[in-house]
Amino acid sequence: MNKFALAFAFAATAIIVPLASAIAAPTPCETALKDLRAAEAKATPNDADKNKVSELETKGIERCNADDDKRADDFFAQAMKILGK
């Protein structure tokens, strides 16, 4: 009985851990950038907001190029918020 319980625990862990990490994975930064650029094309922000969005986009692209999708997505999300998306 103990061997069965131990085998079940290992099997459950082997299934749950990859699923949990897949759910928590950030959006690919290329996708978030594409969404941001589409929102920029439709938005009409004032000059100050446009400059701030541009700065955040540049920072996001730098993080995306460094394979830091989570931080890149954070910068893109901040820019989207400014654009009202």
pLDDT at 8: 59
Q: Which of 48, 58, 31, 59 is nearest to 82 (CA)?
A: 48
- 17 pLDDT higher than 80: no
- Strand boundaries in the chain, DSSP class E: none
* Banded model confidence at residue 71, pLDDT cuts 50, 70, 90: very high
Give the count of alpha carbons within 13 A of 26, CB side only. Answer: 18
Average pLDDT over residues 63-69: 94
Q: Which of 54, 63, 80, 79 is nearest to 26 (CA)?
A: 63
Q: Which of 4, 67, 58 is nearest to 33 (CA)?
A: 58
What angle in degrees, to the nearest 10, is found between the helix axes of 69-82 and 29-42? 10
Q: What digits encode the pLDDT tens for the residues 26-56?
A: 679 999 999 999 999 999 899 999 999 999 9
Average pLDDT over residues 20-27: 59
